[in-house]
Homo-oligomer: A and B are copies of this chain.
Amino acid sequence: MTATAAGIETVSTSRAHGGVQGVYRHMSRETKTAMTFAVFVPPHGAGAKLPVVWYLSGLTCTHANCMDKGEYRRLASELGLMLVLPDTSPRGDEVPDEPDNWQFGKGAGFYLDAIEAPYAENYRMYSYVAEELPQIIAENFPADMGRQAVFGHSMGGHGALTLALKNPGRFRSASAFAPIVKPSVADWSRPALTKYLGPDEAAWRAYDTCLLIEDGARFPAFLVDQGAADPFLETGLMPHLLQEACAGAGIALTLTLREGYDHSYNFISTFMEDHLRWHAARLK
């Protein structure tokens, strides 16, 4: 199948928990590549407009990982939430990449707009997720764009929190599973930020939850869950930095350390219900 500039192409649809799990493809003006995304539309009455919950995935993932393993459909149907799952980077042979590096390039877009060559041409995941894909959702799905929420995992948790802080009027709620709260200091994101944004760390502040808060960005409340057995806890995630940033800024942070849980979809799927109920309560 080929995506056309004119619109979106349906890759697949499948009934699930009373709704429809679909996968779609389109030509992106931001990434200049074909982009694939997943949308779950819960059962709804004719003409209804549904609140939209964005789920941003972590390093190495596509739209498919959480679609397969996230266990969100039962709850999304019960709560009447549409879920949108974008990819994590541009794709294709022409896209610059470091194939042996899972922390940079394809699968590692970090929800930013690159400014350094040769990445600036395609790596525009911030504008893709913040601007282009919402337009496509609004035009092609029964979405109430006045009611949006955002959450994500790890790199996608970073994406969710920064997207909310940069667009507080658009999102009614934001949450994250094991987010990278300060990519400017974390070991697995500093090299990527350097290559996408250059060595001047001033440019990084727009894509760093803790630094955005330091620079005055605000959001009413965050829900964050973090596995206590997560191998990336100390060097990649560092939730105490978010705690400090929120405490000093009047942001109501509900942060829970989950004993025994790791960084996998077993952790995400276990706490998916808490997060979807958090968003549903704020999207009513």
Contact = CB atoms under 8 A, between A and B. Distances in A.
Q: How large is the interface on A (under 10, 10 to 19, 20 to 34, 35 or more residues)?
A: 20 to 34
Q: How many copies of the chain does the oligomer comprise?
A: 2
A264 B14 contact: yes
Contact of A73 (B17, B227, B269): B269
A267 B15 CA distance: 7
B14 A262 contact: yes
A266 B16 contact: yes
Contact of A21 (B21, B227, B266): B266
Interface SS of A by simple majority: mixed
A97 interface: no
Interface string A217-228: 000000000010
A18 interface: yes
A253 to B, nearest CB: 23
A260 interface: yes
A270 interface: yes
Interface of A: 14-18, 21, 68-69, 71, 73-74, 227, 229, 260-262, 264-267, 269-270, 273
